């Protein structure tokens, strides 16, 4: 195949690994600049888990009084119900942020009209996506860490117990499959008219199943199965088990971590494939920028 | 100007959209052919105008050429690269301004937007900085470039979007209705920049609904209607290609009967309603010789009790070319609009 | 009410369902969390840990008429492993006069607690009853004498006055537990869940949660639909065209609100029925009065929403954040899903008591659950009603005035369609 037109130049474009990194970095920085200009958005991320955790804690104390800790220990294995709730709520914010920031990304760029401009540029999808992913990762880890610290001060619980390093490993590994899920979900919401409502509901369905306030062992078998097929459930329980006297699903930390690793190995691939499929579907049908 | 080698070669591009139509209880697939086997060559160094009413296929064609939409069949070569096989290089070869004032990050400043898109075009950081400074001077952006875009007026957003399309200094530029929300001064400024970019060797593909603008600016124009190119050539050539010598515009209160009788006058080709507001009609009459038929037209109008507010024998414009080819006015929207409500009936 | 608006909502079931589902899932999560705190399973488990395991092959066979009974089951309806029957005896009227303690209004009449237990044959234990006094009065625990208990079904009677003197009545009892002892008087196990029967917890707690939920769902919807929809219209650019149309813009807002009310009413009723089934019945008293309180509270909330709508015209994109924040703010500080006593008293005194919605929540659920001891929690009922009435009337007026004011200001500054 020979070119049927003249070739002049590529303007100022210089394709190199440095400029590829530049794309990722620029996207990352731009995202942070944008969110920082929405007053209070980041602070809300960090405060929300504390508020969420406060509710069941207050409720539990109201119901069980002085027996709260003992009853809770009987039900979950730990009497530290405050930290238990705080971990659940902080993990939840990670899940929510990934859903919104990664899953809703294409849709949001479509709504603002910027997707077309991004797609008309020579930057590779992977480079732009890396920027978006890094942004989501940093923001959700920040929210997680901050919520845990502030929450531990407010509820007066000690974070430095159990195996903190292992807990962090569970958080980091747990985010990887979330990325994949978010993309698959992102593809789904492109087809739905009321995408933001769907995400709103989804985040609470997820919250319900991942057991942010209670052990999933209270579920009947079928619901338990649904909950266990969802990586954030393993992530939450892993963090709890490594910090508190909560049991791992498979008895030991390395089995649970292995399950999470398996999710981490498979789901991003699934997510990325779905993403590419979605992209080509859009380009075939309505075209980038329409929805 | 001399016609040189093509820099864009479009080969038999077709695009069919399928949309689901929801009727009562059943779904049907509806196919719309937005582009029908379009072939076209655009020469290196020309300003090429794409004209046509809304929904004619202009935007579809541009979206295909900018890799935003995959053609159903056919291909194109741009700057020596194949449209489907070398997407990234095609993208690096073109700068585009497609969605007007949309397509900017409203929470970023103008400068941050330019830097962002510069990075997406793989422009090294120092080059990018110089380029942005250059564009700020060229397009007189300095008053607002460091404010967030949400504070801009429509015109300012348009100019920034234009600057964005120039960030890569690409050899080919796609401009889709770039002057639409600009004031007269800014539009004139933009056109002169387009001209000087062209003199520097850039190829420009320009769509507009303003015929005068296309007439003034473009070396060649293609008129698209219902997915097909119905006329192609330099504006002067197109205008002389229609056999009519002249056009008479009549504005006023013109009854239906008068319009019908005008058509019966010998030497009249067509009479098209160009605009109709508040009971007033703008009638475009295409005839062999306006000087000959003008008294007869006036006679008819007087006899039919028409109120004549304005009468003007005109030069042929590109719009008249379109009218002569299609029998319709350019301002008519030819999109096929199907709403669920209609489908149910 | 505009029919169009109702239809419009049915076209966007997701947006509508989203707000509802979110809150419903939240409440459900809290309920599960409550289970984790007070799961009766632990009482049963501790039995199984002792020599007393293997009880109750057929615990239901002894449930007779005229007995108030509480059957311990697992929290999610598993097979019961033992049954306890309690009879509250009023000496003046004889045995079993009040068959349903839920409806008891005068607790002072009860002088005796009758405990019927079923145990499989061959097991014996010492049984004592512990009563826990009113926590607000810092009362301590009282324990009865130990009574021998044979196998099979047996009934023990304890006098209330045995515990804390002649003036002691059941009214001052918060919780009751039964202690089982072995021959050496060492404690074998406690049953602590009996308190769920005697105090306004149990189904009444479910009532507190669900009736709070009803008000909160109104609050949430109104905040989003009235407060936030203005912002959305600003964003979509339809706000400006709405102002250009001759229709009264306010009636547009109102018709929308009425359509929402209708939907909430339907959905909230479904939710109540579902939860009522799960919790084994919700208390339901004086519905007419409850409706009046609901009406006034909702009217007051509407006023708040007008105020927020006015605010969103000004603060633009921070509006979603504000509404989100307010939703959580009210959820906690108006104690929507739990009794006020769950909040630290400082918070109640300095925050909750200053929010009129709190009184609406408190009065509404207190009426429905039949004013059990300790309810209403914030003020005497009559005074709460005064607050609720004032809120219901004044708030819409003030909110509307502010809305009109800020709308006018926006039109002067030309910021109506800016976003």
What is the value of ipTM here, to two decimals?
0.86
> What Cα–Cα distance (Å) separates residue B245 from each residue in B250, B324, C198, C268?
17, 12, 102, 75
Chains contacting A (3+ CB pairs below 8 angstroms): B, C
pLDDT band, residue B76 (cuts 50/70/90)? very high
Task: Write out chain A residues lying below 8 Å of B78, CB-based.
Answer: 5
pLDDT of residue A32: 92
What is the mean pLDDT of the segment spanning B132-142? 92
CB contact under 8 A, A119 and B107: no
Nearest to C12 among A51, A81, A194 (CB): A194
Identify the H or E element spanning B223. strand B220-225
Q: How far away is chain A from the Cα of B210, in angstroms, using its nearest Cα?
A: 24
The answer to whether the CB atoms of A72 and C76 lie below 8 A apart is no
**Where residue A246 falls among pLDDT bands split at 50, 70, 90?**
confident
CB-CB neighbors (< 8 A) of A38 in chain C = 317-318, 321
| Residues of chain C with C-beta less than 8 angstroms from the C-beta of A220 | 76
Which residues, 6+ apart, have CB-to-CB distance to B32 below 8 Å? B16, B17, B18, B19, B336
In chain A, which residues have their Cβ closer than 8 Å to the Cβ of B123?
12-14, 19
Chain C residues at the A interface, defined by Cβ less than 8 Å, are: 12, 14-15, 17-19, 21-22, 25-26, 28-30, 32-39, 41-42, 45, 75-76, 135, 192, 201, 205, 317-318, 321, 324-325, 328, 331-332, 337-339, 341-343
Q: In Å, how far from its chain's centre is CA A14?
A: 34
Of B17, B18, B112, the CB nearest to A33: B112
Q: Chains that contact C by 3+ CB pairs under 8 Å?
A: A
From chain A, pick out residues whose CB is under 8 angstroms from the CB of B119: 19, 22-23, 25-27, 123
Look at residue B275 in the predicted model and tell me its pLDDT.
79
Q: Which residue would you say has higher pLDDT here, A60 or C170?
A: A60
Residue with tokens 């250009």: C244
Highest averaged pLDDT of the listed ranges A105-119, B15-29, B34-48: B34-48
Taking an 8 Å cut-off on Cβ atoms, the answer to whether C22 and A208 are in contact is no
Chain B contacts of A33, Cβ < 8 Å? 107-108, 112
> What residue in C sits closest to A47 (Cα-Cα)?
C325
Test A213 with C38 for CB contact under 8 angstroms. Answer: no
- Tell me the count of A-C CB pairs closer than 8 A: 128
How many angstroms separate the CA of residue A123 from the nearest CA in chain B? Answer: 5
pLDDT of residue B195: 92
Q: Report the percentage of chain A scoring pLDDT > 70.
A: 94
Q: What is the pLDDT of residue A160?
A: 83
Which pLDDT belongs to residue C19? 66
Compute the distance between CA of residue A208 and CA of residue A92 in angstroms, rounded to an integer: 10
Q: Which whole number is the average pLDDT over B39-50? A: 91
Cβ-defined contact of B88 to A280 (cutoff 8 Å): no
Mutate to test the interface with A, among C23, C29, C30, C36 (most CBs of A within 10 A): C36
Give residue B339's pLDDT.
Answer: 34
pLDDT at C377: 85
**Smallest Cα distance from A186 to chain B, Å:** 19
Helix, strand, coil percentages in chain B from 3-state DSSP, rounded to 5: 35, 30, 35
User: How many angstroms separate the CA atoms of C407 and B248, rounded?
Assistant: 50
pLDDT band at B307 (very low <50, low <70, confident <90, very high): confident
The answer to whether the CB atoms of A121 and B121 lie below 8 A apart is yes
Nearest CA in chain A to B116: A26
CB A135 within 8 A of CB A24: no
Residue among A58, A66, A193, A200 with most chain C CBs within 10 A, to mutate: A58
**Interface contact A285, partner B, CB < 8 A:** yes
Comparing C-alpha atoms, which of C371, A268, C104, A25 is closest to residue B122?
A25
Averaged over A110-123, what is the pLDDT?
A: 86
B106/A contact by beta carbon, under 8 A? yes
In the prediction, which pLDDT does B137 show? Answer: 92
pLDDT score for B33: 85
**Residue-level pLDDT at A186:** 81
Cα separation, B166 vs B164, whole angstroms: 5
Q: Is B163 exposed, middle or buried (0-12, 13-18, 19+ CB in 10 A)?
A: buried
What is residue A206's three-state secondary structure? helix
Average pLDDT, rounded, for chain B: 83
More confident residue, B274 or A230: A230
Which residues of chain B have a CB within 8 Å of the CB of A285?
17-18
Task: Name the minimum distance, in Å, from the CA of A290 to any CA of chain B.
Answer: 10
Residue among A36, A120, A128 with most chain B CBs within 10 A, to mutate: A120
User: A201 contacts in C (CB within 8 Å)?
Assistant: 14, 17-18, 21-22
pLDDT at A102: 85
Paired tokens of B147: 């404010």
Full set of structural domains in chain B with CATH = 6-239 (3.40.50.300), 244-315 (3.30.70.260)
- Does the pLDDT value for residue A71 go beyond 70? yes
pLDDT at B117 > cutoff 90 = yes
Contact A197 C338 (CB under 8 A): no
Contact A205 C30 (CB under 8 A): no
Q: Do C30 and A51 touch (CB under 8 A)?
A: no
Closest by CA to B39, choosing from B238, B218, B322, B229, is B229
Residues 199-238 of A with CB under 8 A from B: none
- Whether chain C has a CB inside 8 Å of the CB on A126: the answer is no
- What is the percent of chain B with per-residue pLDDT over 70, rounded to a whole number? 90
Residues 269-288 of A with CB under 8 A from C: none
Q: Kindly indicate the confidence band of residue B2, based on its pLDDT and cuts at 50, 70 and 90.
A: very low
Distances (CA, A) of B10 to A290, B4, B45, B218, C343: 24, 16, 16, 19, 72
Best A71, A78, A192 residue to mutate vs chain C (most C CBs within 10 Å): A71
Phi first, then psi: what are they for B336, rounded to 5°? -90, 110
* Partner residue facing C22 (CB), from A41, A67, A204: A204
- The answer to whether the beta carbons of residues C220 and C327 sit under 8 Å apart is yes
* d(CA A224, nearest CA chain C) in Å: 14
C-beta contacts of A110-115 below 8 A and 24+ residues apart: A110/A288, A110/A289, A110/A290, A110/A291, A111/A291, A112/B102, A112/B105, A112/B106, A113/A289, A113/B99, A113/B102, A113/B103, A113/B104, A114/B102, A114/B103, A114/B104, A114/B105, A115/A288, A115/A289
pLDDT beneath 70, residues of chain C: 1-19, 35-205, 227-254, 256, 278-281, 316-319, 373, 414-419
Q: What is the pLDDT of residue C132?
A: 52
Give which of A1, A3, A10 to mutate to test B binding, by max B Cβ within 10 Å.
A10
| Chain A residues 118-137 with a CB less than 8 Å from chain B | 118-124, 128
Q: Which residues of B touch A286 (CB under 8 A)?
A: 17
- The tokens for C207 are 């009532």
Q: How many CB atoms lie within 10 A of CB A21?
A: 14
């Amino acid at each position: 195949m020979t070119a049927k037109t003249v070739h002049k130049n590529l303007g100022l474009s210089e394709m190199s690994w440095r400029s590829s990194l530049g794309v990722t970095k620029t996207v990352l920085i731009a995202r942070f600049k944008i969110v920082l200009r929405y007053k209070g958005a980041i602070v809300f991320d960090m405060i929300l888990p504390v508020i969420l955790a406060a509710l069941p804690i207050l409720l539990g104390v109201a119901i069980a009084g002085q027996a709260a800790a003992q009853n809770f220990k009987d039900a979950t294995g730990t009497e530290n119900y405050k930290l238990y709730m705080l971990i659940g709520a902080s993990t939840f914010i990670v899940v929510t942020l990934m859903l919104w920031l990664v899953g809703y990304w294409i849709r949001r760029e479509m709504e603002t009209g910027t997707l077309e401009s991004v797609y008309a540029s020579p930057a590779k999808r992977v480079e732009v996506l890396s920027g978006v992913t890094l942004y989501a990762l940093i923001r959700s880890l920040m929210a997680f860490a901050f919520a845990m610290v502030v929450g531990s001060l407010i509820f007066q619980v000690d974070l430095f117990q159990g195996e903190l390093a292992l807990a962090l490993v569970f958080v980091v590994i747990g985010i990887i499959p979330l990325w994949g899920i978010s993309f698959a979900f992102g593809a789904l919401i492109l087809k739905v008219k009321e995408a933001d409502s769907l995400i709103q509901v989804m985040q609470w369905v997820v919250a319900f199943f991942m057991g942010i306030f209670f052990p999933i062992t209270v579920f009947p078998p079928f619901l338990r199965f649904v909950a266990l097929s969802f990586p954030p459930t393993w992530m939450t329980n892993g963090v709890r088990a490594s910090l508190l006297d909560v049991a791992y699903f498979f008895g030991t930390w390395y089995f649970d971590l292995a399950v999470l690793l398996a999710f981490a190995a498979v789901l991003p691939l699934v997510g990325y494939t779905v993403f590419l499929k979605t992209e080509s579907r859009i380009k075939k049908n309505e075209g980038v920028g329409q929805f | 100007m001399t016609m040189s080698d093509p820099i864009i070669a479009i080969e038999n591009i077709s695009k069919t959209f399928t949309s689901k139509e929801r009727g009562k209880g059943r779904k049907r697939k509806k196919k719309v052919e937005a582009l029908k086997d379009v072939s076209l060559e655009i020469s290196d160094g020309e300003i090429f105008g794409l004209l046509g009413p809304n929904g004619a296929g202009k935007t579809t064609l541009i979206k295909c050429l900018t890799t935003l939409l995959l053609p159903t069949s056919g291909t194109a070569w741009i700057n020596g690269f194949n449209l489907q096989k070398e997407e990234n290089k095609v993208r690096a070869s073109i700068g585009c301004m497609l969605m007007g004032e949309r397509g900017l990050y409203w929470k970023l400043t103008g400068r941050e937007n330019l830097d962002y898109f510069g990075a997406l075009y793989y422009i090294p950081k120092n080059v990018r900085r110089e380029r942005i400074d250059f564009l700020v001077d060229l397009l007189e952006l300095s008053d607002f470039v460091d404010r967030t875009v949400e504070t801009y007026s429509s015109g300012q957003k348009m100019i920034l979007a234009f600057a964005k399309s120039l960030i890569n200094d690409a050899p080919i530029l796609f401009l889709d209705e770039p002057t639409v929300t600009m004031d007269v001064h800014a539009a004139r400024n933009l056109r002169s920049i387009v001209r000087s970019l062209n003199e520097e060797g850039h190829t420009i593909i320009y769509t507009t609904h303003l015929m005068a603008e296309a007439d003034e600016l473009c070396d060649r124009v293609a008129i698209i209607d219902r997915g097909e190119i119905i006329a192609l050539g330099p504006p002067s050539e197109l205008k002389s290609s229609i056999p009519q010598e002249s056009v008479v515009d009549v504005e006023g209160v013109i009854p239906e009967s008068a319009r019908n009788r005008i058509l019966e006058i010998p030497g009249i080709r067509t009479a098209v309603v160009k605009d109709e507001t508040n009971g007033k009609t703008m009638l475009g009459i295409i005839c062999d010789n306006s000087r000959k038929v003008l008294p007869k037209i006036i006679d008819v109008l007087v006899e039919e009790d028409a109120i004549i507010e304005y009468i003007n024998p005109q030069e042929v414009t590109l719009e008249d070319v379109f009218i002569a080819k299609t029998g319709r006015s350019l301002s008519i929207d030819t999109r096929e609009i199907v709403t669920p409500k209609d489908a149910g009936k | 009410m505009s029919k169009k608006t109702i239809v419009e909502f049915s076209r966007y079931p997701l947006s509508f369902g989203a707000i509802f589902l979110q809150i419903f899932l939240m409440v459900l999560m809290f309920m599960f969390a409550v289970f984790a705190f007070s799961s009766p399973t632990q009482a049963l488990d501790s039995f199984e840990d002792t020599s007393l395991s293997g009880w109750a092959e057929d615990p239901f066979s002894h449930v007779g008429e005229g007995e108030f009974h509480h059957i311990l089951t697992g929290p999610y309806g598993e097979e019961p492993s033992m049954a306890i029957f309690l009879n509250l005896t009023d000496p003046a009227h004889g045995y079993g006069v009040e068959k349903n303690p839920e409806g008891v209004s005068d607790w002072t009449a009860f002088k005796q607690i009758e405990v019927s237990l079923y145990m499989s044959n061959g097991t014996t234990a010492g049984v004592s009853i512990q009563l826990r006094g009113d926590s607000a009065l810092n009362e301590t625990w009282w324990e009865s004498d130990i009574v021998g208990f044979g196998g099979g079904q047996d009934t023990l009677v304890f006098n209330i006055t045995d515990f804390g003197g002649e003036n002691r009545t059941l009214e001052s009892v918060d919780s009751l537990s039964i202690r089982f002892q072995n021959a050496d008087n060492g404690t074998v196990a406690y049953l602590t869940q009996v308190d769920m029967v005697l105090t306004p917890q149990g189904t009444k707690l479910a009532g507190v949660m669900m009736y709070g939920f009803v008000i909160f769902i109104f609050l949430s919807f109104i905040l989003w639909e009235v407060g936030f929809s203005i912002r959305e219209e600003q964003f979509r650019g339809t706000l400006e065209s709405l102002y250009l149309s001759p229709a009264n813009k306010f009636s547009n807002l109102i018709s929308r609100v009425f359509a929402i009310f209708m939907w909430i009413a339907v959905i909230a009723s479904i939710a109540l029925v579902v939860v009522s089934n799960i919790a084994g019945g919700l208390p339901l008293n004086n519905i007419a009065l409850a409706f009046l309180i609901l009406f006034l509270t909702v009217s007051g909330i509407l006023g708040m929403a007008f105020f927020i709508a006015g605010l969103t015209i000004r603060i633009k994109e921070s509006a979603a954040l504000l509404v989100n924040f307010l939703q959580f703010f009210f959820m906690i500080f108006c104690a929507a899903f739990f009794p006020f006593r769950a909040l630290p008293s400082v918070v109640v005194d300095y925050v909750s008591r200053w929010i009129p919605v709190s009184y609406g929540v408190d009065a509404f659920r207190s009426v429905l659950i039949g004013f059990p001891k300790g309810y209403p929690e914030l003020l005497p009922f009559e005074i709460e009603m005064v607050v609720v009435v004032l809120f219901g009337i004044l708030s819409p007026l003030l909110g509307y005035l502010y809305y009109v004011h800020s709308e006018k200001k926006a039109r002067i500054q030309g910021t109506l369609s800016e976003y």
